[in-house]
């Protein structure tokens, strides 16, 4: 098993967010005045209220961020806190990743990809959704890498999406008494990883090289993303097998606490751990929930 201990956010390690204690109460006071309904310049001439507002602001820190994370990967603030893990991404970073694509062309491509398959409904729609999301997310990874000169955000998004395919596996469609994880269609971690590799390769070129990532126009990014998504896409049979295994594995551990869900699946070998997508899922848990997964002998054996 090719398991890696590298953190998903190895880029930009020197950039650290300021601690909450560094917030200035005076700054909060100015922001409060500027955003007050019926703002008037006369408000700026009033004496400052020296009362510390930071405690009120920090009672529920990053609520929107945690809600967004929970929606994607199935784990919220309580779970990350219990695992002694930090907030992986902010809601603003996730929104920035998600909105860097051109929606019109992608809606057309989804209909086309669904029509290409000979699968019965609803399996054709599920596989078409996967191919559609793979194209979008590959382009988003390239856009973010081009605009930020970093693959950190896209790498962590890949981890979140991979984990969500399992953790949210109770959301499923059924066909002929077989269940298939719907969030599996949103697991585009393989395509994002390939896009990040391509972005890193192009960013490493000389600045004046015509193939440098910063030299690519939006249409060229779209063509490159389509090529990556096409080469990395799982065949329908393999995708449906993955969706079925994730759904059944998730259903089998529903009775257990959240922190034991995936570790139990690993110990009981409910997933084909030699499959590339299963290795990617384990790596995602290592990146975001190391305290839950690293102590397992099965994972240590894969790392050795």
Q: What is the pLDDT of residues 229-279, one digit of tens each?
A: 999 999 999 999 999 999 999 999 999 999 999 999 999 999 998 899 999
The confidence score (pLDDT) of residue 9 equals: 47
Asked whether residue 266 is assigned to any structural domain, the reply reads no
The residue among 36 and 201 whose pLDDT is bigger is: 201
Rounded CA gap, 8 and 286, in Å? 9
Q: Which of 42-46, 124-128, 154-158, 221-225 has the lowest mean pLDDT?
A: 42-46
Rounded mean pLDDT, 28-38: 58
Mean model confidence pLDDT for the chain? 83
Asked whether residue 48 is assigned to any structural domain, the reply reads yes
The confidence score (pLDDT) of residue 118 equals: 81
Which domain covers residue 152, as residue numbers? 91-253
| Helix (H), strand (E) at residue 173 | strand 172-175
- The residue among 232, 302, 267, 288 whose CA lies nearest residue 69 is 288
Whether the CB-CB separation of 33 and 44 falls below 8 Å is answered with yes
The reply to whether 100 and 239 lie within a common domain is: yes
Rounded CA gap, 250 and 171, in Å? 10
Q: Which of 1-10, 108-117, 244-253, 270-279 has the lowest mean pLDDT?
A: 1-10
Which residues lie closer than 8 Å to 253 by C-beta, 6 or more apart? 260, 261, 262, 264, 265
Asked whether residue 106 is assigned to any structural domain, the reply reads yes
Which residues lie closer than 8 Å to 239 by C-beta, 6 or more apart? 127, 130, 184
Rounded mean pLDDT, 210-224: 92
Asked whether residue 124 is assigned to any structural domain, the reply reads yes
pLDDT tens, residue by residue, 178-198: 999 999 999 999 999 999 999
Rounded mean pLDDT, 124-135: 91
Rounded mean pLDDT, 42-67: 60
Instruction: Give whole-number Cα distances, 88 to 92, 166, 176, 289, in Å.
Output: 12, 18, 38, 10
How many structural domains does the chain have? Answer: 2
Asked whether residue 240 is assigned to any structural domain, the reply reads yes
Q: 18-22, 54-58, 286-290: which has the highest mean pLDDT?
A: 286-290
Considering 15, 39, 59, which residue would you say is the last residue of a domain?
59
Taken in order 82, 276, 143, 110, the sign of the CA dihedral is negative
- The residue among 252, 244, 68 whose CA lies nearest residue 161 is 68
Question: For residue 93, which phi and psi values (nearest 5 degrees)?
Answer: -65, -40
The reply to whether 249 and 162 lie within a common domain is: yes
170, 256, 94, 193 alpha-carbon torsion, rounded to 10° = -80
The residue among 40 and 120 whose pLDDT is bigger is: 120
The reply to whether 54 and 128 lie within a common domain is: no
Rounded mean pLDDT, 94-105: 71
The reply to whether 146 and 29 lie within a common domain is: no
The residue among 270 and 106 whose pLDDT is bigger is: 270
Where does the pLDDT of residue 108 fall: very low under 50, low under 70, confident under 90, or very high at 90 and above?
A: very low
Where does the pLDDT of residue 2 fall: very low under 50, low under 70, confident under 90, or very high at 90 and above?
A: low
Q: For the chain, what percent of residues have pLDDT higher than 90?
A: 63
The confidence score (pLDDT) of residue 137 equals: 93
């Amino acid at each position: 098993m090719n398991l890696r201990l590298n953190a998903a956010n190895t880029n930009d390690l020197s950039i650290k967010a300021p601690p909450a204690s560094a917030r200035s109460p005076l700054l909060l006071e100015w922001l409060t005045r500027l955003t007050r309904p019926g703002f008037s310049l006369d408000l700026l001439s009033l004496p400052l209220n020296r009362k510390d507002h930071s405690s009120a602001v920090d009672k529920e820190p990053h609520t929107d961020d945690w809600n967004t994370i929970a929606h994607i990967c199935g784990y919220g603030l309580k779970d990350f806190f219990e695992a002694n893990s930090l907030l992986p991404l902010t809601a603003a970073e996730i929104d920035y990743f998600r909105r860097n694509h051109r929606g019109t062309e992608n809606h057309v491509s989804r209909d086309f990809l669904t029509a290409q398959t000979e699968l019965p409904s609803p399996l054709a729609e599920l596989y078409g959704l996967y191919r559609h999301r793979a194209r979008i997310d590959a382009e988003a990874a390239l856009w973010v890498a081009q605009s930020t000169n970093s693959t950190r955000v896209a790498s962590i998004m890949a981890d979140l999406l991979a984990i969500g395919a399992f953790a949210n596996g109770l959301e499923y469609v059924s066909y002929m008494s077989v269940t298939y994880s719907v969030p599996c269609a949103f697991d585009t971690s393989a395509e994002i990883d390939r896009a990040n590799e391509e972005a890193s390769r192009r960013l490493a070129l000389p600045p004046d090289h015509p193939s440098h990532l910063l030299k690519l126009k939006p249409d060229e990014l779209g063509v490159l993303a389509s090529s990556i998504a096409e080469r990395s896409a799982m065949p329908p049979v393999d995708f449906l097998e993955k969706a079925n295994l994730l759904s059944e594995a998730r259903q089998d551990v529903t009775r257990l606490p959240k922190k034991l869900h995936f570790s139990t699946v690993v110990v009981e070998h409910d997933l084909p751990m030699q499959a590339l997508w299963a290795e990617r899922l384990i790596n995602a848990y290592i990146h975001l929930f190391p305290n839950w997964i690293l102590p397992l002998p099965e994972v240590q054996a894969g790392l050795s």
